[in-house]
Structure 1
């Protein structure tokens, strides 16, 4: 666990030791001096001596931490190749440093930092989540290496010295770090977009479900009212029909005035 990103950097330096010392000297190689594959005990002690509680809290809550902390290895400052035991030790050490009980002068920020550490640790305990994080880191490194290869091809085609700033181990490490953070951020943005889309779909489906249920309820209530008032409607109709029949019976025939009979005049 104590190796951290220092060990990771040294590995990168070892892997990328073939660099050009001079743009005009083709295939000139060198190995970075005084950089062993693994950090020494003194290097570890020197690094750990500056990892105070406040510094760790500041690191975990720095601007942009919502994206920086997407990389669980970065949160715990541990090598991706660390063993489970090393991971466990590192979590214990870091969680003690940022625990609210140890930082009572700033418990709220300490709590947020502790939650970030705890989340990173749990992610790395999950084999699937850990593999995903390792894959992202590997993809970031491969992207930088591929990009460097393409740039050198173009430089060669243009007849220019095939020298890139990423040939320097430190610049290479920074390029890998930036690309890795970019990939983590892009994946998180896509995840949030999918989550928002799924939430919208669930909300729409729920609204349709409620509307369908309300429509069915209105239809049932209408049918119920229709059945309950059936007898009343029948009685009203019968009464209406009976009233019409009675009115017909009671209706007298119309009488017309007959004109007086005209007597024929008799002539003698």
Structure 2
């Protein structure tokens, strides 16, 4: 009994020591990588929760298995999942958000305000505002002194998205685009399913929820891009029309000036001929 208790105590001490090493290592790496106290605190909480959950699972695994290779494999699995959590949380870092907002094609990708703020279109306006504030703080130039120019561009993109969504009229237009994309996608997939059925296929790739969502996303981006092109074309036509009108006004003013000058000269000539007035 004494030997068994010593073995159990030894196993627990090894487990806890590994947990402490992993926790300290991840915290130090997180601090060195992001140089941000709040992120360090957040990562520590996340890792502590994960350590608590997996320590119990790890102990249960050890109770059912006595071989050292199994223990190492379980610990490696646990450590890998911790790193995945760290990688997932790192998406919210300022640099990565700036890179996301300024990635190639962002001119058209950022036309969708829901995509800019990374929110669901059905989210209430209060929640949208909270998301906007968090994101605007992350990419604010004052918080990114190492790259203020790109941070300013990202900050402007976030502000523009919020201005669109806080206005009921423009937000409704965006929602109409989303609904149109869903409707068109459903029609397109219905035809695609019919074609697949004629070919003897039971499913299409878009039957997968993720691929269906991606199809809607692609069409949504296309519709926003088309809407922006139409807006630009309309603005260009309006500008050309105003320019044409202004040129016509200038031409008319010149004609009036010439006519007045001619009338003045004509009246002077009449005075010379009729009244004999000498013009010096």
Using structure 2 for the length normalisation, give the TM-score: 0.65
- State the shift of 1:197 in Å: 1.1
Determine if the alignment matches structure 1 residue 231 to structure 2 residue 271: yes
Give the distance between the partners of 2:222 and 2:199, measured in 1 at CA. 32
SS in 1 for 2:271: helix
Preserved CA contact (<8 Å) 2:196 2:204:
no
Give the distance between the partners of 2:154 and 2:115, measured in 1 at CA. 13
Q: Partner of 2:120 in structure 1? A: 79
Determine if the alignment matches structure 1 residue 178 to structure 2 residue 212: no
Give the distance between the partners of 1:117 and 1:173, measured in 2 at CA. 23
Change (3 A) 1:159 1:57: closer
- State the shift of 1:168 in Å: 0.8
From 189, 209, 227, the counterpart of 1:169: 209
Count of residue pairs brought into register by the alignment: 194
Match runs of 1:7-156 below 5 Å? 47-156=88-197
- State the shift of 1:134 in Å: 1.0
SS in 2 for 1:70: coil
- State the shift of 1:162 in Å: 3.4
- State the shift of 1:174 in Å: 1.1
Residue ranges of structure 2 left out of the alignment (5+ in a row): 1-83
- State the shift of 1:44 in Å: 11
Determine if the alignment matches structure 1 residue 211 to structure 2 residue 251: yes
Give the distance between the partners of 1:133 and 1:234, measured in 2 at CA. 76
Give the distance between the partners of 2:206 and 2:191, measured in 1 at CA. 13
- State the shift of 1:228 in Å: 2.8
- State the shift of 1:88 in Å: 1.2
- State the shift of 1:48 in Å: 4.7
Larger Rg belongs to? 1
- State the shift of 1:236 in Å: 5.3
Pick 1 or 2: higher relative contact order, CA cutoff 8 A, min separation 6.
1
Give the distance between the partners of 2:185 and 2:87, measured in 1 at CA. 30
Change (3 A) 1:103 1:145: same
Give the distance between the partners of 1:106 and 1:72, measured in 2 at CA. 23
Preserved CA contact (<8 Å) 2:185 2:219:
yes
Preserved CA contact (<8 Å) 2:91 2:97:
no
Residue ranges of structure 1 left out of the alignment (5+ in a row): 1-42, 238-268
Give the distance between the partners of 2:226 and 2:87, measured in 1 at CA. 35
Determine if the alignment matches structure 1 residue 195 to structure 2 residue 235: yes
- State the shift of 1:45 in Å: 9.7
Give the distance between the partners of 2:207 and 2:108, measured in 1 at CA. 27
Runs of 4+ in 1 over 6 A off after TM superposition: 43-46
Q: Partner of 1:3 in structure 2? A: none
